[in-house]
């Protein structure tokens, strides 16, 4: 499908011709029907322990858990929290939540107590699933929030919460009578929220992005493109966390397409490479730090990666040099970039065989409209003119939960204002140039400087602070703090780093270091002038 220009400089990706997912009674029913149709095909592979899971196993487990959730009082449009690294029970729990018509709210496993508390107070989950590595923290925070009625430990247990259930015991418990099939309640697809994913706003703590059933079902239909190899014959690899929008939505799309998804709970060099070799992985979901690893790390040469055909890279921009190095080193024929936001239900722009210029993020997906506006005047711009990218279509979120003001700022007349500066060329290929938003991109994670700044200002020895991203080839950017000390106090760089380390999740730690300054540059309204800070950092580097 080729994009076309509509009156008023609006670019359109063409209509979605598929309706299969949207015509289903609900997202939960669609997933159940899909898994049922794939039978004994292998759909998930745990690359750590080598266990393979069939579609019929998934169907049976989801149906069983859906009945159990209903018995535990989870009703349509209730919220189910999910705090776990990638494992089969994450997938079962999420899809069972969808099956009963609940909203699923994944939580970042690296969140501190403060961040978990903030996230669950946005979504108000009735039940929270937690894995061995998160169950103590989740149970502790849940015990202080009366809306949480139960915690289900996917593995491990905790004494921090009285209503705690063991996942395996629930699944094996004879008192829960279940049927071999389950009918998902009919959804109001435009209104019912299926996912609340946490997106880092620039103004501090994460916001809860509400994605409706229609957002997901329409996105699933837009993914159905004819492929040379049937999807059920394709083996994909992912190490992207499923609690992250990119990971979660790719898990849902691969499940509904019947592909064999090999997953890892976290990136480990040897495991990652041996999984590609062992399972003859053809496609992998990537982020730029993983691409840099493939391009440069000496260990890569020890493995047979000849099965790799396509690398799908998102979450942050990928350099042309890295792309060329990978093609030369491993011989991967296709490296595809895309661009999307949590707020747009995965990608709105993707490269394909025809449109894949170096540095571009591709062309519009079907069903998506785009415009480029002057960020100051709102004037519509044409080809090769740089401005703010705005998108419209069935994938655009319902809004931020409990935050009307931010929703109205982000969505105007149905158009999502991304805060990213870019342009499209004469072939309607899009390029991202800069961003209005100040988010730091650390290994694909969005880190809001304002949140780290607010945390630093709680330290009695710190008078003022500003945080920017320090460019880093492997991670993208590292959070770096400019700090103004209170008068007559002793404070070291290490103390500041340690303070943030103890109070924030790993992505927010000050890996870029600390620079002590006399004052933070600000404009008359008090907004931090990060451009000046970036110039200060450049000057400091050039002196070295």
Boundaries of every domain in the chain: 55-212, 445-541
**Rounded distance between C-alpha atoms, residue 432 and residue 22, angstroms:** 31
Give just the sign of the alpha carbon dihedral 120, 160, 61, 75. negative
Residue 525 has pLDDT above 60, yes or no: no
CA distances from 251 to 48, 273, 349 (A): 18, 20, 19
Residue 281 has pLDDT above 60, yes or no: yes
**Rounded distance between C-alpha atoms, residue 441 and residue 371, angstroms:** 24
Pick the CATH number of 55-212 from 3.40.50.980, 3.40.630.30, 3.10.250.10, 3.30.2270.10: 3.40.50.980
Interior angle at CA 250, CA 245 and CA 251, nearest 5 = 100
Residue 526 has pLDDT above 80, yes or no: no
Q: Are strands 310-313 and 334-341 parallel, antiparallel or unpaired?
A: parallel
Lowest mean pLDDT among 204-218, 311-325, 489-503: 311-325
**Rounded distance between C-alpha atoms, residue 105 and residue 99, angstroms:** 14
pLDDT one-digit tens code per residue, 57-80 = 999 999 999 999 999 999 999 999
Share of the chain above pLDDT 90, in %: 74
Return the half-sphere exposure (C-beta side, CA atoms, 13 A cut-off) of residue 464.
10
pLDDT one-digit tens code per residue, 77-107 = 999 999 999 999 999 999 999 999 999 999 9
CA distances from 134 to 73, 140, 312 (A): 23, 10, 29
What is the pLDDT, as a whole number, of residue 510? 97
**Rounded distance between C-alpha atoms, residue 392 and residue 371, angstroms:** 9
Mean pLDDT of 202-211: 80
What is the pLDDT, as a whole number, of residue 289? 80
What is the pLDDT, as a whole number, of residue 435? 66
What is the pLDDT, as a whole number, of residue 99? 98
Q: Which are the contacts of 239, defined by CB distance < 8 A and separation ≥ 6?
A: 86, 263, 264, 266, 267, 272, 285, 290
pLDDT one-digit tens code per residue, 211-250 = 999 999 999 999 876 566 788 889 999 999 999 998 999 9
**Rounded distance between C-alpha atoms, residue 287 and residue 113, angstroms:** 27
Work out the pLDDT band at 136, boundaries 50, 70, 90: very high
Please state at what angle helix 213-223 crosses helix 245-257, rounded to 10 degrees.
60
Work out the pLDDT band at 126, boundaries 50, 70, 90: very high
408 in the Ramachandran plot: left (φ > 0), alpha (ψ -120 to 50) or beta?
alpha
Q: In terms of Cα–Cα distance, which of 249, 245, 211, 216 is closest to 398?
A: 211
Q: And the tokens for 214?
A: 């229609």
pLDDT one-digit tens code per residue, 366-422 = 999 999 999 878 999 999 999 999 999 999 999 999 999 999 999 999 999 998 889
What is the pLDDT, as a whole number, of residue 334? 92
What is the pLDDT, as a whole number, of residue 121? 97
For residues 313-324, b (16+ Cβ closer than 10 Å) or e, as one string?
bbbbbbeeebbe
**Rounded distance between C-alpha atoms, residue 194 and residue 267, angstroms:** 28
- DSSP strands (E only) in 63-113: 79-83, 103-106
Q: Which residues pair with 235 in a beta bridge?
A: 260
Q: Which CATH architecture has domain 445-541?
A: 2-Layer Sandwich (3.30)
Q: And the tokens for 382?
A: 């044409």
């Amino acid at each position: 499908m080729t994009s076309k220009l509509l009156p008023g400089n609006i670019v359109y990706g063409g209509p979605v011709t598929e309706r299969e997912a949207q015509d289903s009674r609900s997202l939960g029913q669609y997933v159940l029907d899909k898994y049922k149709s794939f039978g004994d095909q292998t759909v998930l592979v745990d690359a750590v322990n080598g266990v393979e899971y069939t579609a019929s196993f998934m169907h049976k487990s989801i149906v069983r858990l859906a009945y159990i959730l209903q018995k535990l009082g989870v009703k349509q449009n209730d919220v189910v929290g999910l705090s776990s690294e990638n494992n089969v029970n994450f997938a079962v729990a999420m899809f069972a939540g969808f099956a009963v018509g609940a909203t699923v709210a994944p939580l970042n496993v690296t969140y501190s107590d403060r961040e978990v508390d903030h996230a669950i107070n946005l979504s108000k989950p009735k039940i929270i699933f937690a894995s061995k590595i998160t169950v103590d923290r989740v149970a502790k925070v849940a015990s202080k929030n009366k809306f949480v009625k139960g915690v289900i430990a996917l593995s491990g247990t905790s004494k921090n919460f009285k209503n705690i259930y063991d996942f395996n015991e629930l699944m094996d418990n004879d008192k829960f009578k279940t049927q071999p099939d389950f009918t998902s309640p009919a959804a109001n697809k435009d209104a019912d929220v299926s996912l609340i994913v946490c997106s880092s706003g620039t103004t501090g703590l994460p916001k809860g992005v509400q994605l409706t059933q229609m957002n997901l079902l329409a996105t699933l239909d837009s993914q159905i493109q004819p492929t040379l190899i049937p999807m059920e014959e394709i083996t994909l690899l992912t190490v992207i966390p499923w609690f992250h929008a990119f990971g979660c939505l790719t898990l849902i799309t691969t499940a509904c397409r019947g592909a064999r998804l090999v997953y890892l709970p976290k990136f480990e060099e040897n495991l990652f490479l041996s999984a590609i070799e062992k399972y003859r992985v053809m496609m992998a979901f990537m982020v730029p730090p993983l691409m840099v690893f493939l391009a440069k790390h000496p260990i890569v040469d020890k493995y047979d990666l000849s099965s790799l055909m396509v690398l799908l890279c998102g979450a942050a921009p990928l350099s042309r040099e890295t792309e060329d190095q990978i093609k030369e080193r491993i011989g991967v024929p296709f490296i595809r970039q895309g661009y999307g936001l949590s707020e747009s239900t995965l990608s709105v722009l993707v490269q394909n065989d025809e449109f894949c210029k170096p540095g571009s993020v591709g062309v519009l997906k079907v069903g998506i409209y785009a415009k480029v506006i002057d960020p100051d005047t709102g004037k519509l711009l044409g080809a090769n003119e740089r401005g703010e990218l705005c998108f419209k279509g069935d994938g655009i979120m319902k809004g931020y939960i409990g935050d009307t003001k931010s929703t109205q700022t982000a969505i105007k007349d149905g158009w999502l204002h991304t805060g990213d500066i870019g342009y499209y060329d004469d072939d309607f290929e899009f390029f991202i140039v800069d961003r209005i938003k100040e988010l730091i991109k650390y290994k694909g994670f969005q880190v809001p400087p304002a949140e780290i700044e607010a945390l630093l200002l709680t330290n009695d020895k710190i008078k003022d602070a500003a945080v920017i991203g320090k460019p880093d080839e492997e991670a993208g950017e590292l959070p770096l703090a400019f700090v103004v000390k209170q008068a007559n106090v002793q404070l070291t760089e290490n103390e500041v780093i340690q303070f943030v380390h103890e109070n924030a999740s790993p992505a927010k730690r000050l890996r870029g270091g600390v620079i002590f300054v006399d004052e933070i540059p600000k404009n008359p309204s008090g907004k931090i002038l990060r451009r000046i800070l970036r110039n200060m950092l450049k000057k400091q580097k050039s002196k070295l």
